[in-house]
Amino acid sequence: MTIVSSRRQTRPRSALALISLACLTLGAQAQDQAPETLQRVEVTGSHIKRLDSEGTTPVQVLRREDIARLGASTVQQLLSSLAGSTAALADNNNYYGNTEAPGASAVSLRYFGKQSTLVLLNFRRVAAFPLADFNEIFVNIDALPMDAIERVEILKTGGSALYGSDAVAGVINIITRKDFQGLSLKGNWGQTSSKGRFGDGTLSVGAGVGDLARDGFNVLSNLEYYKRELVQGWRHLLDEVNPQYRQVATGLGALSARSYPGNVNGQAVPGCETIVNKRCMSDPIEGGLIMPSSTRLNWLSTGTLRLNKDVDAFAELSLSRNQTEYLGDALTYSSSWGTWTWGDPSTDLPKSFTYRGLPAGHPLNPSNKEASFQYLFADSQPFHHVDAKQYRALGGLRGTWSGYDFELAAGALGGHAQRSQRQVFSDKGFVEVIGDYNAATLDASFFNKPGGYRIGQLNSPEVLAKLFPTFGYEGQTRQLFVDGRLSGELTQLPAGPLSFAAGFDVRRDSFTMTPTANLRTGELLGSGVSSADAARNFGAAFAELNVPLLKNLNLELAGRADKFQHFDAHFSPKVALRYQPTQQLLLRGTVETGFRAPNLAESADSNKYSWATGISDPRRCPAAQELADALEAQGQTQRADSVRAAECNTGIPKVTRNNPALKPETSLSATFGLVFEPFRGSRVALDWWRIQRKGEIGIKGLGDLLNEEGGLEPGLLLRGSLAQDPTFNAQEQAQYGVKVGHLKRVITQFGNQSRTQTSGLDVLARSEVALPQLGRFTLDLDGMVLLSQRYWNLERKGWGDNLVGRYGYSRLSLGLGAALQSGDWNNALRLSYRGGQSLQGDFYDSLWSVEGCADLKLSADQCQVKAYQRLDYHLAWSGFKNLELGLHVGNVLNRRPPVDFKQFGAYWGVVPQNLEDVMGRTFRISASYRFF
pLDDT digits (tens, 9 = 90+) for 862-900: 999 999 999 999 999 999 999 999 999 999 999 999 999
Cβ–Cβ < 8 Å for 819, 777: yes
pLDDT at 706: 86
pLDDT at 246: 81
Tell me whether strands 743-749 and 650-657 are parallel, antiparallel or unpaired. parallel
The proportion of the chain whose per-residue pLDDT surpasses 90, expressed as a percent, equals 74
Q: Is the pLDDT of residue 437 over 80?
A: yes
The distance in angstroms from the start CA to the end CA of the chain is 31
Cβ–Cβ < 8 Å for 849, 860: no
Of 485, 667, 487, give the one whose Cα is nearest residue 590: 667
pLDDT at 907: 52
DSSP classification of residue 31: P
C-alpha distances in Å from residue 869, one per residue of 69, 831, 864: 18, 7, 15
pLDDT at 102: 92
Of 762, 774, 722, give the one whose Cα is nearest residue 743: 722
CA 41 to chain centre: 32
Cβ–Cβ < 8 Å for 76, 51: no
Query: Could you read off the pLDDT of 14-49 as tens digits, one per residue?
Result: 333 333 333 333 333 333 333 444 567 788 889 998
Within 438-508, residue ranges assigned H as helices are: 461-467
pLDDT at 590: 96
Alpha-carbon distance of 907 to 897, in angstroms, equals 20
Query: Could you read off the pLDDT of 470-506 as tens digits, one per residue?
Result: 999 999 999 999 999 999 999 999 999 999 999 999 9
Q: What is the mean pLDDT of residues 582-598?
A: 95
| CA 423, 427, 433, 437 torsion-angle sign | positive
Of 608, 576, 808, give the one whose Cα is nearest residue 673: 576
Query: Could you read off the pLDDT of 744-760 as tens digits, one per residue?
Result: 889 888 999 899 999 99
Alpha-carbon distance of 276 to 278, in angstroms, equals 5
Region of 711 (left: φ > 0; alpha: ψ -120 to 50; beta: rest) is: alpha
pLDDT at 94: 54
Q: Where are the domains of the chain?
A: 17-230+293-326+386-420+474-602+663-697+752-800, 234-286+332-376+427-467, 606-657+700-749
Alpha-carbon distance of 705 to 718, in angstroms, equals 12
3-state secondary structure of 28: coil
Bridge-partner residues for 501, per DSSP? 487, 544
Contacts of residue 905, defined as CB under 8 A and 6 or more positions apart, other chains included, come to none
Bridge-partner residues for 697, per DSSP? 752
Q: What are phi and psi of 855, to 5 degrees?
A: -65, -30
The per-residue pLDDT of the chain, averaged, comes to 90
pLDDT at 423: 87
Alpha-carbon distance of 245 to 751, in angstroms, equals 41
pLDDT at 910: 64
Tell me whether strands 682-698 and 751-771 are parallel, antiparallel or unpaired. antiparallel
Query: Could you read off the pLDDT of 777-789 as tens digits, one per residue?
Result: 999 999 999 999 9
C-alpha distances in Å from residue 329, one per residue of 233, 514, 529, 911: 10, 25, 22, 14
Q: Report the b/e string of 328-341 with b at 16+ CB within 10 A.
A: bbbbbbbbeeeeee
Query: Could you read off the pLDDT of 515-540 as tens digits, one per residue?
Result: 999 999 999 998 999 999 999 999 99
Lowest mean per-residue pLDDT among 193-197, 402-406, 907-911: 907-911
Alpha-carbon distance of 73 to 77, in angstroms, equals 7
The proportion of the chain whose per-residue pLDDT surpasses 70, expressed as a percent, equals 94
C-alpha distances in Å from residue 896, one per residue of 347, 893, 920: 51, 9, 7
pLDDT at 39: 64
Flag whether the pTM goes above 0.85.
yes
3-state secondary structure of 346: coil
17-230+293-326+386-420+474-602+663-697+752-800 to CATH, choices 3.40.50.920, 1.10.8.50, 2.60.120.200, 2.40.170.20: 2.40.170.20
Cα three-residue angle 904-109-170, rounded to 5 degrees: 170
Alpha-carbon distance of 34 to 11, in angstroms, equals 9
Contacts of residue 119, defined as CB under 8 A and 6 or more positions apart, other chains included, come to 107, 125, 126, 139, 141, 171, 172, 174
Cα three-residue angle 869-870-875, rounded to 5 degrees: 155
pLDDT band at 909 (very low <50, low <70, confident <90, very high): low
pLDDT band at 596 (very low <50, low <70, confident <90, very high): very high
Query: Could you read off the pLDDT of 142-157 as tens digits, one per residue?
Result: 999 899 999 999 998 8
Q: Report the b/e string of 502-541 with b at 16+ CB within 10 A.
A: ebebbbbbbbbbbbbebbbbbbbbbbbbbbbebebebbbe
Cβ–Cβ < 8 Å for 177, 218: no
DSSP classification of residue 233: -
Question: Which residue did the predictor score with more confidence, 180 or 691?
Answer: 691
C-alpha distances in Å from residue 889, one per residue of 817, 867, 892: 14, 21, 6
DSSP classification of residue 110: T
DSSP classification of residue 37: P
Q: Is the pLDDT of residue 836 over 50?
A: yes
pLDDT at 95: 52
Region of 488 (left: φ > 0; alpha: ψ -120 to 50; beta: rest) is: left
3-state secondary structure of 564: strand
Q: Is the pLDDT of residue 330 over 50?
A: yes
Tell me whether strands 751-771 and 743-749 are parallel, antiparallel or unpaired. unpaired
Cβ–Cβ < 8 Å for 107, 684: no
Query: Could you read off the pLDDT of 62-116 as tens digits, one per residue?
Result: 999 999 999 999 999 999 999 999 877 888 875 544 578 999 999 999 999 999 9
Cβ–Cβ < 8 Å for 173, 571: no
Q: What is the mean pLDDT of residues 354-377?
A: 95
Write down how long the chain is.
932
pLDDT band at 52 (very low <50, low <70, confident <90, very high): low
> What is the H or E stretch that residue 903 is in?
helix 901-904
DSSP output for 834-895: E--EES--STT--TTSHHHHHHTT--TTTSEEPPEEEEEEEEEE--STTEEEEEEEESTT-P
DSSP classification of residue 624: H
